[in-house]
Amino acid sequence: MGVVVGQPSPMGEMLTEKQAEEMIFGFVILNDWSARDIQQWEYVPLGPFQAKAFATSISPWVVTREALEPFRVHGPAQDPAPLPYLRQALPNNYDLQLDVALRAGAMNEAKRICRTNFRYMYWSSVQQLVHHASSGCAMNVGDLLGSGTISGPEKDQRGSLLEISWNGTEQIELAPAVTRSFLEDGDSLVMRGWCQGNGYRVGFGEVEGTILAAE
């Protein structure tokens, strides 16, 4: 998920939980398209760098924080307890279902490879903002923060292809004679998200992207 900042914060000042919450304008589905082959090469000593600059895609519209208010939930228990400035009194996670499907170039329909939920996010978006400000860094209107991988406790809830294929050691069967452990040229990834209410749904639209061969 991506968090869109709607209110700025001043340089050099900490944020409270409530201030950080009020800074959030809304949310989008976000795919950071991590290039794992590059990441493996540069991980030591640089850490992920160009691997995370490969591309970024977001869903077609921003869903406001207010629209998601009925779906707020507490996140996972945090053990050990975070430092005092990161502790939360409010339910800052969301019961937001996420669906990821993969279509190889020869396939007509994408096959679901993951169904997870934003409620499993260990660090909430509010905590992200509070921690970001802890070093004195200011946030501006329109800034976009990525949540990081959202994985649940079950195997089919792993939130990245790296986890789903267990670092490439477990093949994913998409169709007869079609398997994947990492994305290949011509593959398309489809991500959807929604909150399900009683007789209504708050949706985020769909974000799809296709890997093209390098020129």
Within a domain: residue 65?
A: yes
pTM of structure: 0.92
Residue 187 lies in a domain: yes
CB 27 within 8 A of CB 145: no
Q: With respect to residue 122, please indicate whether it lies within any of the assigned structural domains.
A: yes
Burial 130-145 (b: 16+ CB within 10 A, else e): bbbbeeeeebeeebeb
pLDDT of residue 49: 85
- Within a domain: 50: yes
Expressed as residue numbers, the domain containing 9 is 2-210
The answer to whether residue 30 sits within a structural domain is yes
Please report whether residue 215 resides in a domain. no
**C-alpha distances in angstroms, 53 versus 15, 42, 57, 80, 211?**
28, 13, 12, 32, 15
Question: What is the C-alpha to C-alpha distance for residues 103 and 72, in angstroms, rounded to an integer?
Answer: 32
Pair 184, 211: CB distance under 8 Å: yes
List pLDDT tens digits, range 5-60: 999 999 999 999 999 999 999 999 999 998 888 888 898 888 888 888 878 999 99
What CATH number does residue 116 fall under?
3.90.850.10
* Number of separate domains in the chain: 1
124 part of a folded domain: yes
24 forms beta bridges with 5
